[in-house]
Amino acid sequence: MRVTQALASEVALLLRAAAQAEIMPRFRRLAPDAIRAKTGPLDLVTEADEGAEKVIAAGLTKLIPGVLVVGEEGTAIDPTLLDGLAGADCAVVVDPVDGTANFAAGVPLFGCMAALFLKGECVAGWIHDPLGDDTAIALRGEGAWIEDAEGRPRGTLRVASPVPVERMVGAVSWGWMPEPLRSRVPARLPRLAASINYRCAAHEYRLAAGGHAHLLMYNKLMPWDHAPGWLIHAEAGGFAARFDGQPYDPARHRGGGLLCTPDRASWEEARAALLGDG
């Protein structure tokens, strides 16, 4: 199977259709019983998540016959779905509403994400912004770009030029880090020019891939949260690796952390500043 730009546009339009049908009509209109906690107070699901994932899954099976759809909400019901990702001939991971806590609180900062895998390799990624009504897209080896609501390219994505660590702006999610990193990393954030946390990886990846931030750092690595953005960032010219320097495998999610920067030299400098012993 070859993932063409035409297919990439069709998937982007599918994400938009799901957002228009299931997400936006519920934004700031959720009843209290339409929001539930899954594993804890930081892990929420709403009717919008579940409705959008059903629409996206149905659309993907029509666009790509035989595809394995590994959705965040479907996996919460059947965790074995995640086990099949690395070995599937063709699979798509889906995060129907990334930034659910923001969405549930009425904060206009959430996204709809998907990534396509062929035999365990991530070859395409999408991040749709339901409010901006456009989609960041990447195809392996073909770059990253933004498409508008009609599927028209609106410009390419490119990471920021490298700068010293004291001039870096970074999105750092330290809440899921184990000790001693949970204490060490926040204490070192003043070494950056500025740190942000959108509670939404979708928009943080778009920010970095568009050249408006230099650094992304995450510890919890569920593939629907990171595979789309990682590929978009990489195709925009960025570099990423696990905290120990090993390559990131978006089909696997256990341990390792992820650090994304404009290039390898920036990665080394940022790692030393935020994770090193000194």
Question: Is the model's pLDDT at 37 over the cut of 80?
Answer: no
Q: How far is the C-alpha of 123 from the C-alpha of 135, rounded, in Å? A: 16
Q: How confident is the model at residue 42 (pLDDT cuts 50, 70, 90)?
A: low
Q: How confident is the model at residue 34 (pLDDT cuts 50, 70, 90)?
A: confident
**Digit-coded pLDDT (tens) for 15-26:** 999 999 999 999
Q: Tell me which architecture the domain covering 165-274 has in CATH.
A: 3-Layer(aba) Sandwich (3.40)
Amino acid letter for position 16: R
Amino acid letter for position 78: D
Q: How far is the C-alpha of 179 from the C-alpha of 59, rounded, in Å? A: 42
What's the confidence (pLDDT) of residue 256? 84
What's the confidence (pLDDT) of residue 278? 67
**Digit-coded pLDDT (tens) for 170-224:** 999 998 899 999 999 999 999 999 999 999 999 999 999 999 999 999 999 999 9
**Digit-coded pLDDT (tens) for 55-77:** 999 999 999 999 999 999 999 89
Beta bridge partners of 40: 43
Rounded to the nearest 10°, the torsion over CA 100, 106, 108, 114 is 20
What's the confidence (pLDDT) of residue 93? 98
**Digit-coded pLDDT (tens) for 216-257:** 999 999 999 999 999 999 999 999 999 999 999 998 877 789
The percentage of residues in the chain with a pLDDT greater than 70, rounded to a whole number, is 97
What's the confidence (pLDDT) of residue 252? 83
Helix (H) / strand (E) element for 66: namely: none
**Digit-coded pLDDT (tens) for 84-138:** 998 999 999 999 999 999 999 999 999 999 999 999 999 999 999 999 999 999 9
With contact defined as beta carbons under 8 Å apart, do 109 and 205 qualify?
A: no
Residue 201: Cβ within 10 Å count? 26
CATH of domain 5-156: 3.30.540.10
What's the confidence (pLDDT) of residue 235? 98
Residue 120: Cβ within 10 Å count? 15
Task: Give the burial class of 155: count Cβ atoms within 10 A of its Cβ; 0-12 exposed, 13-18 middle, 19 or more buried.
Answer: exposed
Domain ranges of the chain: 5-156, 165-274
Q: Which residues of 19-44 are buried (b: 16+ CB within 10 A; e: fewer)?
A: beebbbebbeebeeeebeeeeeeeeb
Residue 106: Cβ within 10 Å count? 10
Q: Which residues of 207-223 are buried (b: 16+ CB within 10 A; e: fewer)?
A: bbbbbebbbbbbbebeb
Task: Give the burial class of 141: count Cβ atoms within 10 A of its Cβ; 0-12 exposed, 13-18 middle, 19 or more buried.
Answer: exposed
Single pTM value for the model: 0.96
Q: How far is the C-alpha of 151 from the C-alpha of 135, rounded, in Å? A: 9
What's the confidence (pLDDT) of residue 40? 62
